[in-house]
Structure 1
């Protein structure tokens, strides 16, 4: 109780001070204030100490997390440091024997809540496959204006409601993706990168990949692109980016009067404008389908199904059901985030890692040339950006080594570093015998899981795409689903509620990386941290966003 005594000391001091110097009336007031201070101190103390039922698990002190957050440390700085503190506690408790080990189960603190982190494949599998036992927490339970933006969607709602959403949403994703959705925006990207390359300028891949994937998403989702590549400050592009920046700023959200502040009122206006933009898209698309007599044709055969946009397919699937206009809007809002932001991060890290590891870059390029043909490679090196060749669906599915690169990138730098919060709906016994009571917040620590040396060996922190060579199936396919690896690789989650945009993301990554490999060679330069393999990161507890990476592009010769 020493820590509580330290926190509560001001209350006792106030009582002593006012007792000596004030009137009886003021003493009553001061006593009330002292009680309030003591109550607040106790609440703070309880919020930074794990619940008694979980205190036997290893954990890093909450104050260590707070210090990192207040300093604005990037993920690759604070996460390994907190994991080391957790390992030290695990060794004191006899859970592990070496600092090279990661405990299967541990606690981490976030904004007053202690989360159970699962970092072993067996427990990850349990959580992903028993989704009714580990129920999702609704995004509307979050801070600030998250509920207004995300609403209730297929990603976040509890299982009974999720079954309602997936009837409309899943069919729109269970299809192929025409590579033109990504190849056409990538041509605009290459035009901009050509200009940077010819001027000798470096690029930050994070910025360009965010813009590229936003254009790819809006083209695939609505049939029209926001053209963020050429117009990064366009009205809706700027509005959307401002919303994301505000919703991910934990220090701002923790301000007790945030929603009444100028910043809070500004983001509320932005969200209302963006929501209206989505409603207008929904209404216009619905009117278009109605005019064409196609509203009730969700199950009709379509020879060009891979080219149909998501919104069209969802509106058709929702026709005649109780899936509302707001349901459509909230699902489109989450697709904006999940459909471009995460893929952009993976593309950025793949470019970064191939810039550091030129042997990997050269090997990936050789495969792309071998599959797409030497004529395509010659054309890609010399043609105008508007004529840049991109892989066909058959070609992008044929890449093997490029899939190794993507898979290894997603292992080391999963866009979503931990699974968004679940909660136990009943008591659970984990693989090592640890018992969790009902109502405990739980997450899969994807970052720790996918760097576990017990699974990946002593080189678990190293970028080695060839480690996946042994996983290739007899048909030549590279398995990209968690059961193939007993859930030791699960950047998209797993089970029935696996990320529905998985194939969308993988196709986009293969198309864009293949085009860049055909057009350029590149190196990582400049930023000292990036050159040492620890790029700077935007502070976040959930998603990994690099910043300040400098890449020097050079056009390839024919």
Structure 2
């Protein structure tokens, strides 16, 4: 009887499996036919797999070269390229104002939600998808990140620069080479520590990432970025399932906890000091955040958790973007000897004329036209974020780049693409040429610079980044001569949202008189 029952059941299971397989094939074929021929975005060119699945974008994140791929696609396929079944990348520079302008009606997509800390009560400025809520929450702390506020903290940046220059002296004396990109990251991370907490994290002093925070970020970024471009229904399975079978995913999630704990530790230490009456002299950003909490926290619902969110975001995003920009400027200067000489001449002449103090002040550096051009050009050629900033088309649809898109469509512009537009930046747009910023089109070019985003969603840490660059770069070049060990080699970049450089092997020699 048992054998007979088994004989009846086995074909039934096979039949069910066959039906399910057939249904899957029918669904897949139907989906491909729909996305390729009947979907509202079917008329836009793009890779075949991108049109039928978001996993094409995941493969781009895995390969860490989406910026290069998108430039190639736009070069061959035009200004509108389909990069997912319901998403296009747009290279038309005028799309920046349409999509990211203030009150444009475009809203952030769910790309940003995996970056949000799970414990926050209100989304941070980066991951907030609700425009009115974003505006109201950002107003609470916006003044703390204004250029006037950051400029008042220049002494903190000067302390970090002094330690960096001491390390350069040791490299020069020992004739040791080093990766400039790695040291730019340690410098930027220590600046975050000094600005927020009145003490560096010790990366520069130790000469390495001794607390492991930078390593934690390096582990996190690829995983979170991959999750961000996946369909939402896959993300949890990817993160939880991946953690069980892939050590890298588990390490990334552990690293997320490390950043969380670092933020909590910084808050707890300062809170304990305040409770014991041992603090109050600090003029750092954390003190200002506690002051906001104390003075109007109840009115605007800004408590210790919200302070922690600000610290968490600073730890998470405060160093990679600035380090990438600094590395780009210095790398391209070293690759362009004539430009390098012209800039150092400007710095030396300003020093002799008494226009540059010691240490250099931000306003003094920002008044140097060629330094300004070099920094702009470095950020143009290598913006720190190398992916599109995806947005939803508002209700009623919208005309973008001469094409009509229905509401809900995902659209975005990639700074790494639009910054190479020849119609805006000239036929040599792929080259490092600061002189372009002295031509008649300089003001027009400036309108299309997109390295900090645009509109109300401009990066909140923009002024911190600019202050660091304009102070540190001329200080370094005034004291030392830097050059690439292998100028014939190209640097390495890995694009996991932040487009991180490495392999900028550098040697440094002291300039005896700073001239």
Please indicate the TM-score interval, normalised by the length of the shorter structure.
0.7 to 0.9
**2:512 pairs with 1:552:** no
CA distance in 2, matches of 1:431, 1:32: 44
Report deviation, 1:135: 0.7
TM-score (norm 1): 0.76
Which residue number in structure 1 is paired with residue 92 of structure 2? 120
**2:330 pairs with 1:351:** yes
CA distance in 2, matches of 1:68, 1:163: 31
Which residue number in structure 1 is paired with residue 219 of structure 2? 245
Report deviation, 1:228: 1.2
Instruction: Please give the per-residue CA displacement for 1:438-497, whole angstroms capped at 9, x wherever unaligned.
Output: 11222122122111111122111111101112479xxxxx98xxxx64732121122222
**Among candidates 481, 498, 507, match of residue 467 of structure 2:** 507
Which residue number in structure 1 is paired with residue 101 of structure 2? 129
Which residue number in structure 1 is paired with residue 409 of structure 2? 440
Where do 5+ consecutive residues of structure 2 fail to align?
A: 1-8, 231-236
Which residue number in structure 2 is paired with residue 167 of structure 1? 139
Instruction: Please give the per-residue CA displacement for 1:531-553, whole angstroms capped at 9, x wherever unaligned.
Output: xxxx321243x322122122222
Instruction: Please give the per-residue CA displacement for 1:384-442, whole angstroms capped at 9, x wherever unaligned.
Output: xxxxx420244223222111000011111111124432222323333543111111222
**Among candidates 345, 348, 363, match of residue 342 of structure 2:** 363
Q: Secondary structure at the match of 1:171?
A: helix
Report deviation, 1:529: 3.9
Instruction: Please give the per-residue CA displacement for 1:185-210, whole angstroms capped at 9, x wherever unaligned.
Output: 12222222222233333221111000
Alignment check: 8 A CA contact 2:188 2:322 kept: yes
Which residue number in structure 2 is paired with residue 464 of structure 1? 433
**2:179 pairs with 1:204:** yes
Aligned positions of 1:7-156 closer than 5 A:
24-35=11-22, 37-38=24-25, 41-42=28-29, 45=32, 52-62=39-49, 66=56, 69=59, 73=63, 75=65, 79-90=67-78, 103=79, 105-109=80-84, 114-131=86-103, 133-137=105-109, 141-142=113-114, 147-148=117-118, 152-156=123-127
CA distance in 2, matches of 1:517, 1:328: 37
Alignment check: 8 A CA contact 1:154 1:169 kept: no
CA distance in 2, matches of 1:394, 1:83: 36
CA distance in 2, matches of 1:50, 1:206: 46
CA distance in 2, matches of 1:512, 1:402: 11
How has the CA–CA distance of structure 1 residues 43 and 160 changed in structure 2, closer, same or farther, with 3 Å as cutoff?
A: farther
How has the CA–CA distance of structure 1 residues 48 and 289 changed in structure 2, closer, same or farther, with 3 Å as cutoff?
A: farther
How has the CA–CA distance of structure 1 residues 546 and 486 changed in structure 2, closer, same or farther, with 3 Å as cutoff?
A: closer
Which residue number in structure 2 is paired with residue 258 of structure 1? 242
Report deviation, 1:290: 6.2
Report deviation, 1:223: 1.6
Which residue number in structure 1 is paired with residue 3 of structure 2? none
Report deviation, 1:557: 2.7
Report deviation, 1:169: 1.9
How has the CA–CA distance of structure 1 residues 198 and 132 changed in structure 2, closer, same or farther, with 3 Å as cutoff?
A: same
**2:365 pairs with 1:396:** yes
Aligned positions of 1:323-342 closer than 5 A:
323-342=302-321
Q: How large is the Cα RMSD of the aligned pairs?
A: 3.6
CA distance in 1, matches of 2:70, 2:362: 43
Alignment check: 8 A CA contact 2:61 2:495 kept: no
Aligned positions of 1:483-522 closer than 5 A:
485=445, 487-522=447-482
How has the CA–CA distance of structure 1 residues 293 and 199 changed in structure 2, closer, same or farther, with 3 Å as cutoff?
A: closer
CA distance in 2, matches of 1:129, 1:67: 26
**Among candidates 361, 369, 377, match of residue 408 of structure 1:** 377
Report deviation, 1:146: 5.5
Aligned positions of 1:182-193 closer than 5 A:
182-193=157-168
How has the CA–CA distance of structure 1 residues 59 and 323 changed in structure 2, closer, same or farther, with 3 Å as cutoff?
A: same
Higher mean displacement: 339-348 or 147-156: 147-156
Which residue number in structure 1 is paired with residue 419 of structure 2? 450
CA distance in 2, matches of 1:211, 1:371: 28
Q: Secondary structure at the match of 2:83?
A: strand
CA distance in 1, matches of 2:315, 2:37: 35
Q: Secondary structure at the match of 1:248?
A: helix
Instruction: Please give the per-residue CA displacement for 1:293-349, whole angstroms capped at 9, x wherever unaligned.
Output: 999xxxxxxxx9xx8322221222233330232222223222223322111001111
**2:263 pairs with 1:278:** yes
How has the CA–CA distance of structure 1 residues 507 and 293 changed in structure 2, closer, same or farther, with 3 Å as cutoff?
A: same
CA distance in 1, matches of 2:36, 2:306: 39
Report deviation, 1:23: 5.5
Alignment check: 8 A CA contact 1:121 1:449 kept: yes
**2:352 pairs with 1:373:** yes
Equivalenced residue count is 482
Instruction: Please give the per-residue CA displacement for 1:6-52, whole angstroms capped at 9, x wherever unaligned.
Output: xxxxxxxxxxxxxxxx9632432431442365267459858985971
Alignment check: 8 A CA contact 1:419 1:445 kept: yes
